[in-house]
Amino acid sequence: MNTFDMTVEWSRPDLDPRFVFVWRDGVELGSNKHPSFRGRSSVFIDKLRHGNVSMKLSEVKLSDEGGYRCFIPTLSKDVTVQLVVGAVSSPVLRLTRNNSGVLLECESKGWYPEPEMFLLDAEGNLLSSSPTETIRGPDDLYTVSRKVTVEEKHGKNFSCRVTQKKIHQSRETHTVIPDHFFMVPTTPSTPIVPSPPGFPGSSGSQPVLIGSVIVCAALVLIPLVVFILWRRRKNKLKNKKDHENGTEQTEEGKTKTSKGDLTEFNVEKEGEEERVALMNGGENIIKYQEEIKKHPEQSTIKIKTVFKNRQEDEFRGDLQTDINETLMETKEKLNQTKEDRGKQAEQQLEVKEKDREKTEESTEEVKVMDEEMMKTEEDNINVTQKKDEGVQNQNERRRRREEAVRRAAERRGTRQQKSVDREIREEGKEEEGGGGRTEESETEEDL
């Protein structure tokens, strides 16, 4: 059956105006449409020719719930459909250690109508938990939550199930409790929130991601720092050995040099930090040379010890400096990583903001186009109504003319009938008095 050129009315009897969608003469009529359904109700135009008059309702709201009547005046048929609106969301499980065991808390937001919540073990048995807490928000959506403390004897696999029988919807989330959660806590623990299935972008994912990045960076940088320190220390030890070898050769050469070749010595006694300066020439140099000649081995050991202590101090200072520099570089790299992450987040926010603005602009353009289309449709409807009124007026005038003609004909017929009757009566009268007049005329003729 082709219903494209028929009138199809979808309405809500409890609204004023009651019309949700009206289709007439191949176009939608929006003049009497309820404001809350503007831009949200439509029919499948390509299927009207096959008799499909179904209505599509977009951006469904809780207030859309109710009975809808479809009426086709041409066929004098109507049907009522009951719309049930529902909203669902996946539950979220949280684990927290306490002295009694592990506190298992389940919460689910954004449900309509009010759902039921169950906490189950691995075998699907109900856990003895606290009563379900229900909160209805300003948007008329329900938030339900439930808590239970479990022990290791209850197992490790648990699930939270939320169901709504009226709309035949159910959502379920599973979790596995780690072994260390059943140990007695020594410090306050931080709740763990398993990510529900189908919600990869749930709250808490960004801190976990940042923490993972920092840990990965630390795992990469720590071996790098150790390697750099090891290389520097190796180079220092190599330089130290070369320096000791050169010093030993120098001291042996100095013991063999003449008195005139000695110019200046700085000697540090073992266990003392004071230095005794031996100036060029004089008795001090002679005494020192004599002491070196008498005890060459001890003098060499003292000199080596002095240089060794000095080199160790220098090495410790250089090592500490290298460590500080490496730590500073590591901190700078971590800060740079944080800044890069922050910039990326800001760029993502800017992109999202631009997308949102474009979406708003597109929505505004669509609204303007809808208003223009509605205005055009109303103009077409007005033109159609005027044409219909003109046709009706023309038909009325034709009917009146026909009625006038009929009445005139009736009047003419009545007058003709009366004239005929009068003529008949007159002829009858003439016939009655005609015999006397004939005799008189004949007598007169005879005379």
Sorting pLDDT into bands at 50, 70 and 90, what band is 261? Answer: very low
Q: What is the CA radius of gyration of the chain?
A: 55
| Banded pLDDT at 268 (limits 50, 70, 90) | very low
Q: Are strands 157-164 and 116-121 parallel, antiparallel or unpaired?
A: antiparallel
Instruction: With respect to residue 262, please indicate whether it lies within any of the assigned structural domains.
Output: yes
Distance CA 101, CA 151 (A): 5
H helical segments located in 257-295: 282-294
- Whether residues 111 and 160 fall in one domain: yes
Kindly indicate the confidence band of residue 69, based on its pLDDT and cuts at 50, 70 and 90: very high
Q: What pLDDT does residue 225 have?
A: 61
Residue 334, SS3 per DSSP: helix
Q: Are residues 220 and 319 in the same domain?
A: yes
Measured in residues, the chain has a length of 447
163 in a structural domain: yes
Question: What is d(CA 356, CA 350) in angstroms, rounded to the nearest whole number?
Answer: 10
Q: Between these two residues, 37 and 375, which has the higher pLDDT value?
A: 37
One domain for residues 226 and 300: yes
Predicted pLDDT at 276: 42
320: number of CA atoms within 13 Å, CB side? 5
Residue 118 banded pLDDT, cuts 50, 70, 90: very high
CA atoms within 13 A on the CB side of 31: 11
Residues 187 and 303 in one domain: no
Give the pLDDT band of residue 301 (cuts 50, 70, 90).
Answer: low
pLDDT for res 245: 57
Arithmetic mean of pLDDT, 116-141: 90
Q: Are residues 150 and 178 in the same domain?
A: yes
Compute the average pLDDT of residues 406-421.
79
Query: What's the mean pLDDT in 296-312?
Result: 63
Q: Give the whole-angstrom CA distance, residue 264 versus residue 286.
A: 12
Q: Which pLDDT does position 441 carry in this prediction?
A: 52
Domain coverage including residue 308: 214-348
Please give the full DSSP string across 11-46, using - where no structure is assigned.
E-TTSSS-EEEEEETTEE--TTB-GGGTTTEEE-HH
**Segment of 279-283, 290-294, 406-410 carrying the highest mean pLDDT:** 406-410
What's the rounded Cα separation, in Å, for the pair 338 and 207?
A: 12
In contact, 96 and 103? CB cutoff 8 Å: yes
pLDDT at 120: 92
Distance from C-alpha of 117 to C-alpha of 144, rounded to nearest angstrom: 7
Give per-residue pLDDT as tens, 147-194.
Answer: 999 888 888 899 999 999 988 999 999 999 887 777 655 444 445 444
Note whether 220 and 342 are same-domain residues. Answer: yes
Q: How confident is the model at residue 142 (pLDDT cuts 50, 70, 90)?
A: very high
pLDDT at 201 over 50: no
Same domain membership, residue 195 and residue 226: no
Identify whether residues 175 and 234 lie together within a single domain: no
Which pLDDT belongs to residue 21?
A: 92
pLDDT at 59 over 80: yes
Q: If we measure between CA atoms, which residue out of 27, 7, 30 comes closest to residue 19?
A: 30
Same domain membership, residue 226 and residue 343: yes
CATH number for position 67: 2.60.40.10
Average pLDDT, the chain: 75
Q: Does 271 have pLDDT greater than 50? A: no
Please give the order of strands across the beta sheet that includes 66-72: 27-28, 19-24, 8-11, 66-72, 77-83
Q: Give the domain-ending residue among 61, 83, 105.
A: 83
pLDDT at residue number 270: 40
Q: What is the pLDDT of residue 395?
A: 83
User: Are 15 and 101 found together in one domain?
Assistant: no
Residue 34, CB half-sphere, CA atoms under 13 Å: how many?
18
Is the predicted pLDDT of residue 32 greater than 60, yes or no? yes
DSSP structure string for 427-439: HHHHHHHHHHHHH
Q: Does residue 381 fall inside a structural domain?
A: no
Which percentage of the chain shows pLDDT scores above 70?
A: 66
Of 181, 203, 225, the last residue of a domain is 203
Instruction: Supply the pTM of this predicted model.
Output: 0.39
Is 179 among the domain residues? yes
Highest mean pLDDT among 45-54, 342-351, 398-407: 45-54
Q: Please count the structural domains in the chain.
A: 3
**Residue that terminates a domain, selected from 83, 114, 145:** 83
Residue 410 lies in a domain: no
Residues 122, 154 within the same domain:
yes
Residue 256 pLDDT greater than 90, yes or no: no
Task: Please determine, for residue 218, whether its predicted confidence score (pLDDT) is greater than 60.
Answer: no
User: Quick check: is 12 in a domain?
Assistant: yes
The answer to whether residue 291 sits within a structural domain is yes
| Contact assessment for residue 149 and residue 162, using Cβ atoms and an 8 Å cutoff | no
Distance between CA 177 and CA 107 in Å, rounded? Answer: 17
pLDDT-derived band at 345, boundaries 50, 70, 90: confident
Domain shared by 232 and 138, yes or no = no
